[in-house]
């Protein structure tokens, strides 16, 4: 596992229609802004750009970075809201189907819920989970499964126009439960089209949550005795506008003290 990883959060302003082919071109333009950043992971939100796995893989290969992107994929008669992890060679290293599918997805997009299995995927820097949207924080099962598999960092690609602030609150709970860094990626504000109806989608608020970095057991014990709030686990939070932000995330400290954390608070060790 790598001690620190460098990531890019891409919070895009999509075109109004979910599967507008211009979203792919826009995604590639935003990804290109990351060129030269020597990044480990570039993160895009849920359902963005929805298409273009071949092009996204080529971008991952060109930038020598993992890319996480939201796609709508067909498998036989089923249609899934999925997130795909592309490795540095541009090949899919994992894909996760969304389980908690809402009425708009079911009725207007024909999306089928996933099988309820949340998988950890091996990257060269650590173990990655990519639960989609409310799957991660709405109920505890996704985080529990990922923790059991030894996840090092959770990426939560999402598309929230409501519950945006509660999203981060819920993610903080999961980050605390499992002492794991969490990266949440949303779209920016935009106007969406659902059939003939135009709806303003309030967006933004993408974030990075990270347990505190500690040097040794004494440092951990001092933190555990005095902790009263974990709001300071938020090391990055974006506004509602389209943007690309780079940040470093420490994986080693959480990994080193996770067992100490479980033991200190009497939590079940997955």
pLDDT in the model for residue 193: 82
pLDDT in the model for residue 270: 67
pLDDT in the model for residue 227: 94
pLDDT in the model for residue 54: 98
Angle in degrees, 0-180, between the axes of helices 217-226 and 252-265, rounded to the nearest 10: 60
Domain with 103 in it: what CATH number?
3.60.110.10
Q: pTM above the 0.85 mark? A: yes
Q: Would you say residue 211 lies in a domain?
A: yes
Q: What is the tally of structural domains in the chain?
A: 1
Q: Would you say residue 240 lies in a domain?
A: yes
146: tokens are 């990922």
Question: Cα separation of 142 and 1, whole Å?
Answer: 22
Q: Which residues of 53-76 are buried (b: 16+ CB within 10 A; e: fewer)?
A: bebbbebbbebebbbbbbbbeeee
For residue 90, the tally of other CB atoms under 10 A from its CB is 20
Question: Cα separation of 15 and 190, whole Å?
Answer: 8
Q: Would you say residue 270 lies in a domain?
A: no
Positions of the chain with pLDDT under 70: 270
pLDDT in the model for residue 187: 97
Q: Would you say residue 117 lies in a domain?
A: yes
For residue 219, the tally of other CB atoms under 10 A from its CB is 14
pLDDT in the model for residue 195: 72
pLDDT in the model for residue 212: 96
Cβ(217)–Cβ(41) under 8 Å?
Answer: no
Q: Would you say residue 136 lies in a domain?
A: yes
Give residue-wise pLDDT tens across range 132-141.
999 999 999 9
Look up the domain containing 224 and give its range.
Answer: 4-265
């Amino acid at each position: 596992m790598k001690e620190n990883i460098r990531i890019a959060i891409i919070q895009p302003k999509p075109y109004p229609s979910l599967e507008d082919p211009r979203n792919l071109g826009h995604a590639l333009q935003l990804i290109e802004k990351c060129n030269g950043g020597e990044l480990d992971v570039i993160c895009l939100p849920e359902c963005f750009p929805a298409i273009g796995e071949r092009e996204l893989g080529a971008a991952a290969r060109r930038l020598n970075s993992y890319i996480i992107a939201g796609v709508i994929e067909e498998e036989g008669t089923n249609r899934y809201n999925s997130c795909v992890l592309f490795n540095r060679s541009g090949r899919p290293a994992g894909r996760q189907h969304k389980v908690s599918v809402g009425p708009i997805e079911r009725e207007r997009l024909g999306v089928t819920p996933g099988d309820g299995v949340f998988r950890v995927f091996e990257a060269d820097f650590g173990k990655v989970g990519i639960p989609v949207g409310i799957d991660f924080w709405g109920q505890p099962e996704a985080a529990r499964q990922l923790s059991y598999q030894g996840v090092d960092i959770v990426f939560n690609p999402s598309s929230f126009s409501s519950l945006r602030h509660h999203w981060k609150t819920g993610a903080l709970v999961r980050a605390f439960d499992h002492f794991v860094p969490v990266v949440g990626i949303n779209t920016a504000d935009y106007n969406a089209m659902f059939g003939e109806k135009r709806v303003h989608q309030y967006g933004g608020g993408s974030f990075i949550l990270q347990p505190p970095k500690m040097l040794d057991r004494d440092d951990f014990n001092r933190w555990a005795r005095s902790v009263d709030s974990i709001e300071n686990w938020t090391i990055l939070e974006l506004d509602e506008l389209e943007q690309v932000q780079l940040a470093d995330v420490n994986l080693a400290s959480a990994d080193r003290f996770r067992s100490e954390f479980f033991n200190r608070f009497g939590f079940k060790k997955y």
